[in-house]
Copies of this chain bind each other. A is one copy, B any other.
Amino acid sequence: MSGDPSDQARSTAVKQLKALGLSTYAARTFVALVSLDEGTAQDVSEVADVPRTRVYDAADELRDRGLVDVKQSNPRRYWAISTETTGRHFEQEYDHRVTALTDALDRLASANRTTEQQGVWTVTDRGTVAERVVDLISTADDEVVYMTAEELLTEKIVESLSTVSDRGVSIRLAEMSQFTEDRLDQEIPDAQLFESLWDWSDTPAGRLLMVDREKTLVSVLVDASGEHPPEPRDETAIWGAGATNSLVVVLKAMFTWQLDNNRE
């Protein structure tokens, strides 16, 4: 049929389409039609690895979703919409979904999302931790203290820091490489740097975060599933909120001590 690189494109396309809610056959049919531009059930069946008699159902599914048009001839011919249109199409559908969802959830959310908590919450996966960090930072009213491994300082986090800095929240960051500090100076000019006192380098460095001295998060990098070589890919974090929260109390003490020492 086609070469190897093309096959890879095929399978990723099919995978995404399935994730977006299409059946296997429909996904394969659509991909086939994109490369064929236009074709009969026979044509599709040959390149898509879909039983010919099922191409009709798959194409119906696609037509109902607005992804293919049908030529009412004999044999019937199918035509896939352009990739740009496909993108727009799913974008729209998705917007619908998320809007409906957040609307409904907002109506349900209990008003009392308390900031006072007793225990600590655990979070795993680097992306999820980053999300929680952004969450916490964005609730800041007064102060953010953040100490992080450099490779974990993603664009999204810098952005959220910059945003709250703009509305008057003071930012305190542990010192990092010259390169990173230059970059931060660009994006968050008001940030204050402080010297990290303890040796951070011999641990699988993660992050330490304190927001308004009442919400804190700490994370470490761990080897994903004990593989060799031990590449620290996964991250696990714990966080807590509230002035009396044990994690908050501990981190607040640590940071306060560090910041005070720095000032001397």
Chain B residues, CB < 8 A from A31: 105, 108
Kindly provide the distance from the CB of A243 to the nearest chain B CB, expressed in whole angstroms.
Answer: 18
Contacts of A77 in B (CB 8 A): 119
- Binary interface encoding of chain A residues 43-79 relative to chain B, with 1 for a CB under 8 A from any of its CBs, else 0: 0000000000000000000011010011111000101
A12-51, CB < 8 A from B = 12-13, 16-17, 19-21, 31, 34-38
On chain B, the residues within 8 Å of A81 by CB distance are 131-132, 135
Chain B residues with Cβ below 8 Å from A85 are 131, 135
A63-118 at interface with B (beta carbon < 8 Å): 63-64, 66, 69-73, 77, 79, 81-91, 94, 97-98, 100-110, 112-114, 117
Contact at A13–B104, with CB atoms within 8 Å?
yes
Q: How far is the CA of A16 from the CA of B20 in the complex (A)?
A: 12
Shortest CB distance A195–B (Å): 32
Q: Looking at A35, A101, A132, which has the most chain B CB atoms within 10 Å of its CB?
A: A101
Q: DSSP majority for the A interface?
A: helix
In the assembled complex, A120 has its CB within 8 A of some CB on chain B: yes
A128 at the A/B interface (Cβ < 8 Å)?
yes
The count of identical subunits is 2
**Given A87-B98, A88-B131; 18 other pairs, CB 8 A cutoff:** A6-B107, A10-B108, A12-B104, A16-B97, A36-B110, A37-B110, A37-B113, A37-B114, A70-B121, A77-B119, A79-B121, A83-B102, A86-B101, A86-B105, A87-B101, A87-B102, A89-B131, A94-B94
Identify 16 residue pairs between A and B in the complex whose beta-carbon atoms are under 8 Å apart, listed by A's number. A6-B107, A9-B104, A9-B107, A16-B101, A19-B97, A20-B101, A21-B21, A34-B109, A35-B108, A69-B122, A69-B132, A71-B119, A81-B132, A82-B113, A84-B102, A91-B98
